[in-house]
Amino acid sequence: MKHDEMTCQALILKFLFEYEERTMPEEDRREFEKHVSLCPPCVTFLSTYRATGKTLKMLKPGDIPPTLADTVIAFVKARRERGK
C-alpha cells in the first residue's frame, strides 16, 4: 500500500472492506491506521461509514424499500468481487 500514489478517497475505498473485516495483512493495517490517524477527512469518512453500518443493522427488513435494498446488496457484492 503506497499512500503517495493514491488519493485519500481511493485509499479508503480500496482498503476499507479488508480493514473492517480484519482480513488486511498486518503491515498494511498498521500503515492504514497510521494514515487514518493523521488525516482528518479519512477519520470523518471512516466514522461515517461505521455509523451507517450501525444504523443499517438496526433496521428491520420492511424498513428499507426493496429497490434500495437491492442497490445496496449489489454494491456490496461488487465491492467484494473487486477485492478478491
Look-up: residue for cell 498486518?
26
Q: Taking the model in full, what pTM does it have?
A: 0.56
Geometric angle at alpha carbon 44, from 15 and 30, rounded to 5°: 40
- Pairwise CA distance, residues 61 & 44, whole Å: 28
pLDDT digits (tens, 9 = 90+) for 51-60: 888 887 887 7
Instruction: State the cell numbers at 33.
Output: 491506521
What backbone torsions phi and psi does residue 83 show, to the nearest 5 degrees? -80, -15
Candidates 5, 3, 76; CA nearest to 35 is: 3
Contact 17, 83 (CB under 8 A): yes
pLDDT tens-place string over residues 3-48:
444 578 777 888 888 888 899 999 999 988 998 888 888 888 888 8
